[in-house]
Structure 1
Amino acid sequence: MSAERRHFARVAFNTPATLTTTDDRIQVHVLDLSLKGALLQLPAADQVQGGQPCLLEVRLAEGVRVTMAAEIAFAQDHRAGVLCRAIDIESVTHLRRLIEVNLGEQGLLERELKALVSA
C-alpha cells in the first residue's frame, strides 16, 4: 500500500520561479504545481527550512503570473515542497485553467476545487 497522502492532482510543470522568504529571494525551478502548492528544485547553494513562510511567484506567460503566499512544508536534497496558505483570485483562476487543461477531466477538477474550499 502506498504512503501517498496527496488529495490534489499535481501537474508536472517545468518553469523557473521566484521564492521569497523572510531571509532571501531565491530563483527556483518548479517541478510540479497543484491547487494546494508546488514542488520546487532549489539551487545547490540555497537552503530553506520547513515551516518557514514564503511567497512563490510563477510566471506562466508574459503578464500572466501565479502568486501564492505559502509555507515551506519540507526541504530535502535541494528540493522543497510549498503549501499554499493564500492565493489571489486572478492567480487561482490561472492555476485552475492550467490544471484543467493538463488533467483533461472536468469532473476531477471540480472535486478538487470542492475539497480545497471545504479544507
Structure 2
Amino acid sequence: MSEQRRNYSRIAFDCPARLSLGESQLELRVLDLSLRGALVRLPGDAVVRPGTVAELRISLDRDGTEIRMQSRVAHADGRHAGLACQSIDLDSVSHLRRLVELNLGDPELLQRELSALLNE
C-alpha cells in the first residue's frame, strides 16, 4: 500500500462526474474521494491510461457548485481508475474539505491530513 493511501482517509462518495481527457469527455461515477484524489467507475467503453492528465469535475448541487480537480490517472483496472490530485483551486478544496470533514466525523484527523498535505 502506498504512503499516500495511508496518510489520507478516503470517503465513500457515490455521485456522477465528468472527466476531461484532452478533447474527450467521459461521464462517470465517483466512488470515493480523499484530499489527494478519487476512485472512479468508468463507462463500459472507456479506456484510460496511467499517466494521462485529466480534469475531474464533480457537481455538488444544482446551483453549479462543483469540485474541480486537475489530476493524473494513477492506475486503471477494467472499469475503475484512480486519479491523483495534481492541483485544486481554493473553492474546490474548501468544498472537498467540508465533505471529508462531514464524513470523517473527526476534526482532529482532518487537521492532521491537511497538515500532511501542506507539508508535501
- How far, CA to CA, are the matches of 2:93 and 2:118 in structure 1? 12
Structure 1 partner of 2:74: 73
Q: Structure 2: which 5+ residue stretches go unaligned? A: none
Superposition RMSD on alpha carbons, in Å? 1.0
> Counterparts of 1:40 and 1:23 in 2: how far apart (Å)?
19
Q: Tell me the equivalent position of 1:8.
A: 8
Calculate the TM-score normalised by the size of structure 2: 0.94
Secondary structure of 2:43's aligned partner: coil
Could you tell me how far apart the structure 2 residues matched to 1:20 and 1:4 are? 26
Q: CA deviation at 1:60?
A: 1.1
Matches within 5 A, 1:42-81: 42-62=42-62, 63-81=64-82
Q: Distance in 2 between matches of 1:21 and 1:46?
A: 11
TM-score normalised to structure 1 length: 0.95
Partners of 1:50 and 1:20 in 2: CA distance: 14
Q: Which residue of 1 aligns with 2:87?
A: 86
How high is the sequence identity, in percent, across the aligned residues? 42
What secondary structure is seen at the aligned counterpart in 2 of 1:49? coil
Which secondary structure does the structure 2 equivalent of 1:9 belong to?
coil
Moved over 4 A (4+): none
In the aligned structure 2, how far is the partner of 1:50 from the partner of 1:19?
14
Aligned partners of 1:110, 1:30: CA distance in 2, in Å?
Answer: 24
Deviation of 1:61 after TM superposition, in Å, equals 1.2
Provide the residue aligned with 1:95 in structure 2: 96
**Unmatched runs of 5 consecutive residues or more in structure 1:** none
What number of residue pairs does the alignment pair up?
117
- State the one-letter code of the partner of 2:21: T
